[in-house]
Structures are given as structure tokens and as C-alpha cells.
Structure 1
């Protein structure tokens, strides 16, 4: 993918709607960081006659029918992900201590949730779910690598910017677009976490919110 990538116009509009601030900023992903995703997706796959081929960090090429080792084509994976977000996403469960640790951090940091969703219609359900879990921070929806959005969100801020996400692709994108960002690769599912070898730009690889909170508090 070409890097650094520009922020998408629809994401920039959401960013411009945020109140101005010069406080330090945490830009945090939702799936597999604040909300469990892999466990829910695995359950969805099992109910629909599919499975992960292995616990490595990818979806396309890593999902197959129960009776086959042949990966599903990418278009079928995409179709199932859209169905998953429509049917299961409003009921995802929270990663332990995400609410309390983010609340503690919010005393000194602005927090913005930057999440990739397949359709804008998924955003209200996600906001409702997060709000009900005690996670009331602004939700911005993105599509594709997040580097452009992270760079735009950091504009005008002289304080640290922390980026928390599970995806290696998103971290590479942020490294290209905003290399000064502190990068935390957070993966709640321990099987997938163990499969990841952190790249050089990753400052912390973790699946624990208490460790994440301590690490961020030490930045200021």
C-alpha cells in the first residue's frame, strides 16, 4: 500500500467535529482492544460451519470450512465479516479492565476511539454498546489503514500521541504517517498475541489493560 496514506474525507469530517484540545491524545482501536472480537468471531465461524486454520494474525487466507483445509476466497470472508458486524457486534463483551483503565487515563489524556467498521450503520450500535459499558469516548469510524486518520487527529497537538491497535497493518501505516506516535500493539486473545513478533516500531506488545495503563502513565 502507498505510504503515508491520506486521511479519508469522511474521516476528516468526523475529526473536524471534535472539540479543539491541546491535551495529550490516546487514539484507541475497539475490536480486540476494548471489545473482544476473535472469541466472538470464532464462535460465529463455528456456528456457520467454519474455523480458523491457525491462530496467526490474519483473516483472509486463514478461514476455512470445517471439512476442508482450503482457505475461503477473500470475497466470502468479507461477506461473513459484514454479517458478523451486523449480527454479533452489538453484543461483543468487554476486555477486562478496559473501562477502568481508560477512565484513569482520561484524567490527563484525551481519548478518541478509531474503529474500522464495514458500514456507517454499525456506528450507532457500537456507540450504544460502548456507552453502556462505561466507555463514553468519541467514536470515529474509518476504513482501511489508519495512518492518515491518526496523523490528522494529532494535528495542532504538541503533546504525546499514543496509538493502540491490534493490527500490524495499522501500526505500519501509523509508523509511515506519524512516526512520533507511541505505538502499543494490544491483542486480547492470548493465542493470537503469542503468534506476533513485534516489529521495531512497536513500543509495547500486550494483552493487558493494567500494563497498558502503567506504560502510558509513565510517558508524561
Structure 2
């Protein structure tokens, strides 16, 4: 989960953890904000609202890390609070249950994934470049290990409102790709987009987390563009 103020860029899309700040020690007091070592995070932000945003972001970052490394079962309120440097009661100030936290982690991941892809495609000029960039960015994000989070989305039973938000983000993600496909003169854009996504998913299964995706990107892009050219001529 990237920090709230970290900008996206297409050259290097990597997961960045929040930097945890030192804590101020409280003595002989009981507080829901106390960490397990008897300490409490300092309020370093200018306002209470900003401080709450920072703590929520830290919890989301911790949740992302736990799900990525251990799957959804690794996500407990106690584990995420400890990883974020907060007490368990403090974590409940932001999320009412583990299910709420998991849903928030998935939504934030999808927002970032969608934003990364849309921004990178917007930087390209021709339809072919946009389509190649879609393949490139998608496989790059998967190679970073974020496929684990995306897999959770398909495997986890989510509340209907959360699922609807994720579906809406998928539509936003597909829109620039659909426009690029249409610009090539392909009439059945839905079919073409699904085929592109199928190629990306097939290539993704060949990647190991942390591996260099460039050989798969090159082959997949060439395959996709050749296939789209054939479709445009039918």
C-alpha cells in the first residue's frame, strides 16, 4: 500500500511500505492507543484528522503486507495492529472487524491498480502503444507480487457494496483499453478486451513473484497486437 501522498509513475510501480515513526512512552496509564510494549504513537501530523489518516494508512499497509505474505487467514486485528505499531483496541477505532479491514485493503489495492494502469495508458499516444502498455503494466504489477491480493478478490466472499465498488473499478480499468481496441477498427471490443485479459492472465501464471517480467511482456504484447490486427481485418 503506497503512502497517501506518494504519486504514481509508470517507470517503476513498486509496493512501498509506510515508514513507522518512533513512539513516545506513556507511564502508568491505560489507553486503547497503547501498543503492546506500553508505548503510544506520537501525533506527528499537524491536525488530528491527518493523524487519523496516517494511522489508517498504516493499518492498511500492514493488512496488505499480511495478506500478500500469508493470505487472508493471516489477517487478524491483533496481527495488523502489532505490525502497524498500534494496540488492538486502537485498530478497532478504524475497522469494526477483520472482514471490514480486508474489504478496505482490497478496495485500496484495486484503486491503486486501476489508477496505475489508467495513468500509464493516458501517457501513450497510439492505440498500439496503449495496448502494449496495458500488458506491460499489468504484468509488472503482478510480478511485484500484487497478484496475491487480486487472487483474494476472486476467492473471498465480499459484501455486495464492496463487490459493486470493485466491479466499478474494473470498468474504469477496462475503459481506456476498450477505446484503444475500438480505435483499431475492431467492432466487438468486449470480445477483444476479454482476449487481451486472458493473455495477461496466462502470462501471469508463468511469472514468479519478484521475477523479471520483460520476456513475458514482449511475447504477450506481440501476440496481442498480432491477434488484434487479425481481428480488425475480419
TM-score (norm: length of structure 1)? 0.29
Normalized per residue, which structure has more strand? 1
Richer in helix (by share): 2
Q: Greater RCO between the two (CA within 8 Å, min separation 6)?
A: 1
**TM (normalized to structure 2)?**
0.28
Larger Rg, first or second structure (1 or 2): 2
